[in-house]
Amino acid sequence: MDKLLSIFRPSTGSRELRRQPLFTGMSWLVLLFLYAPIAVLVVFSFNDNRSVVRWTEFSLRWYAAALENDDIRRSAMISIQVALSATVFSTIIATMAALATTRGGVYRGRSAAIALINQPLMIPEIVTAIATLAFFSILRQLTGVTGIGWLILAHTVFCVPFAYMPIRARLSDMSVTYEAAAADLYATPWQTFRHVTLPLLMPGVMAGAMLAFVVSLDDVIITLLVAGPGETTLPIYILGQIRRGVTPEVNAVSTILIGLTVTMVTLTFFLQRKRK
Amino acid sequence: MIDVKNVTKRFGEGQAAVTALGDVSLTIPEGSFFTLLGPSGCGKTTLLRLIAGFELPTEGEIALDGESIGHLAPNNRPVNTVFQNYALFPHMSVARNVGFGLEMLKRPKAEIDSTINEMLDLVQLGEFATRRVDQLSGGQQQRVALARALAPRPKVLLLDEPLSALDLKLRKGMQSELKRLQHETGITFVFVTHDQGEALAMSDQIAVMSAGAIRQVGTPEEIYTAPQSRFVADFIGDTNIVNATLLGFDGDAAKIKFGEGTPLTVHAASTSLSPGPVHVALRPETIHVVDERAETALLRGEVVDSTYFGAGSQMLVRLEDGVSVHVQVSTPRPVGSRVGLECDTSMLHVLED
């Protein structure tokens, strides 16, 4: 990401860029449209009024209401359960896939394998959702198995490419000499992975896991079609409430979600920086 | 003792295959400081990686003390490597880096700790045990890499151009440090370098390599004073290579003449050369400048350049056949003057091409 950003501030041209006409105005406009809606949502979650457009007084009543709402609590628990499980499984799978595509030597079909892993990112989610719905219906009927496992499985699958990207990036940047040095110092392949590859790969794994967690927590379309009765996740619940108009209660829940995400991103950022 | 027997290494397959080593055989004596010397791409690093186990030979066999190791994984060979960029584990302390080999071998904790201390003392980094690797200078990292590779007491230590990342002053210091370590531990050192000065200064034996083959093996003196081929003579120091005519052999000695001069009896790299034009190696420091008309002059030419370098001057003399020769003198002749060159015929060498 730093590399990507650095092209926007070349060492000699940064002042010139700032002097470009409209640069400052455009930047503020983009930032405004990105963050103003969120700011409004956060502000009105503290409003002591049922209206989401007219400010009266500061209050935490909607937070209290949200936390006391059994439906919200239940759906939040399901969301966290699904997201955590999907994160763990997809990160493990993505790590193995990244190892196979960067450390497995050159083999026939490697590029195809990488493309196949990343392809789901390009397929419209609604298509994946309908396909998964149809496929899982068949499987459910054949096996007779029901339960939240199917939803976790669906989330795991679409989280894999998100977790895979940062892990693979980290692995390709990492010199294979470290692993050669470990093998040279009598480490078996497993010991090499355990003591050298994995610790050095950890920032990538953390970033991948975080992406997977956020993507899973946020998912609506696939969840909407795959989730069985009683498996309402938080986004699905919010969506249901919105149909009856935006309530400050929904604002409060959304603010908690934002807070959770921002905390995670910040935490990962500092963890990675400490490692460096 | 390492025995490399008819080892060939090819990378890639079919049409695109590249031969990095072609039928190489070599014996590295136990307890010696052995150097693989050659220009980049000559196969010296490939040979080192084959001994370490990072590559497997396409053909041939490698034996260590009579036991075949050519197809073992790196972790099953009693051989350790000092990598060119050190490859110290950045997430471990200096001490844990040094103890890593023994830790993987599941040695008792007490033994690991005492070896770590012993090794850090050996490389004079005793007080750095708890430091992080990235807090050390290049020279210190180099010594940690050495300590880490020596800690498991390998039978062979492989060093892949370990000094190339250091500046000149540090490099000189590390050269004697490496010699000392080799002497104190008695471990066989196999050292890879493209720097002939380094090779001459440190080695018990040198193998000069080019284009995936070994061109000559010998002590530094042998390599320097009696290069067998034009490549070796060219690569080691700034030897002059001049043209001569081979008249024939008298036992092992060759009879040659320069131009239309008198026949001389000199050393030859091989008695299988056929009479006719040959190349002769002539070290700059063995040449004396004399008057052009002197009877003893073997070669004649014109001074075309002269460079002062403190301890003396280096003159460039262009011979009558157009070949230029470097000569070291204390008082240079003026540029443009004609001179005769005399030299000890026992220092002359007929080269293989």
Best residue of A176, A186, A205 to probe chain B, by most B CBs closer than 10 Å? A186
Asked, for residue A198, whether it belongs to a domain, the answer is yes
**Does one domain contain both A43 and A82?**
no
Question: What tens digit of pLDDT does each residue of B281-304 get?
Answer: 888 888 888 888 877 788 888 888
Match 């540090």 to its residue by tokens. Answer: B170
The verdict on a CB contact (< 8 Å) between A186 and B152 is yes
**Does one domain contain both A55 and A75?**
no
Query: Which of B79, B89, B105 is nearest residue A178 as measured by Cβ atoms?
Result: B89
Every domain of chain B and the residues it spans: 2-225, 230-351
Question: What tens digit of pLDDT does each residue of B46-87 get?
Answer: 999 999 999 888 888 998 888 888 888 899 899 999 998 889
Give how far Cα B15 sits from Cα of A110, A114, B10, Å.
21, 27, 11
**Does one domain contain both A124 and A227?**
yes
Question: Radius of gyration over alpha carbons of chain B, in Å?
Answer: 24
The verdict on a CB contact (< 8 Å) between B100 and A183 is no
Question: What tens digit of pLDDT does each residue of B91-104 get?
Answer: 999 999 999 999 99
Asked, for residue A10, whether it belongs to a domain, the answer is no
DSSP helix/strand/coil, B216: strand
Confidence (pLDDT) at A1: 46
**Does one domain contain both A86 and A219?**
yes
**Does one domain contain both A50 and A154?**
no
Domain of residue A194: give its range. 71-275
| Farthest-apart Cα atoms in chain A, separation | 70
Task: Among A117-131, A239-253, B201-215, name the one with the lowest average pLDDT.
Answer: A239-253
**Does one domain contain both A152 and A258?**
yes
Q: Which residues contact B165 (CB under 8 A, 6 or more apart)?
A: B84, B85, B86, B138, B142
- Would you say B207 and B37 are in contact if contact means Cβ atoms under 8 Å apart? yes
Asked, for residue A98, whether it belongs to a domain, the answer is yes
The Cα–Cα gap between A135 and B86 comes to 52
Average pLDDT taken over every residue of chain A: 85
Q: Burial level of B302, CB count in 10 A (0-12/13-18/19+)? A: middle
Measured in angstroms, the CA of A191 and the nearest CA of chain B are apart by 7
Question: What tens digit of pLDDT does each residue of B6-23 get?
Answer: 888 888 887 888 888 888
**Does one domain contain both A23 and A87?**
no
The verdict on a CB contact (< 8 Å) between A186 and B52 is no
Asked, for residue A1, whether it belongs to a domain, the answer is no
CATH superfamily ID and name for B230-351: Nucleic acid-binding proteins (2.40.50.140)
**Does one domain contain both A34 and A134?**
no
For A147, left (φ over 0), alpha (ψ -120 to 50), or beta? Answer: left
**Does one domain contain both A110 and A82?**
yes
Q: What is the architecture of the domain spanning B2-225? A: 3-Layer(aba) Sandwich (3.40)
Q: What is the ipTM of this complex?
A: 0.79
pLDDT band at B144 (very low <50, low <70, confident <90, very high): very high
Confidence (pLDDT) at A180: 93
Asked, for residue A252, whether it belongs to a domain, the answer is yes
Q: Looking at chain A, which residue has its C-alpha nearest residue B100?
A: A185
**Does one domain contain both A233 and A269?**
yes
Q: Looking at chain B, which residue has its C-alpha nearest residue A177?
A: B87
- Would you say B326 and B238 are in contact if contact means Cβ atoms under 8 Å apart? yes
List the one residue out of A126, A90, A88, A82 whose CA is nearest residue A224.
Answer: A126
Question: What tens digit of pLDDT does each residue of B57-68 get?
Answer: 888 899 888 888
Structural domain count of chain A: 2
Measured in angstroms, the CA of B8 and the nearest CA of chain A are apart by 21
Overall average pLDDT of the B200-214 stretch = 90
Average pLDDT taken over every residue of chain B: 86
CATH number of the domain encompassing residue A140:
1.10.3720.10
**Does one domain contain both A224 and A138?**
yes
Establish, for the pair of chains A and B, how many residue pairs have beta carbons separated by less than 8 Å: 61
Q: Is the pLDDT confidence value at A254 over 50?
A: yes
Question: What tens digit of pLDDT does each residue of B250-289 get?
Answer: 877 888 888 777 888 887 777 777 788 888 888 888 888 8
Confidence (pLDDT) at A11: 52
Helix (H) or strand (E) run with residue A133 in it:
helix A125-143
pLDDT band at A274 (very low <50, low <70, confident <90, very high): low
The Cα–Cα gap between B71 and B194 comes to 27
Q: Which residues contact A239 (CB under 8 A, 6 or more apart)?
A: A220, A224
Helix (H) or strand (E) run with residue A34 in it:
helix A23-45
Would an 8 Å CB–CB cutoff place B101 in contact with chain A?
yes
Q: Looking at chain A, which residue has its C-alpha nearest residue B74?
A: A184
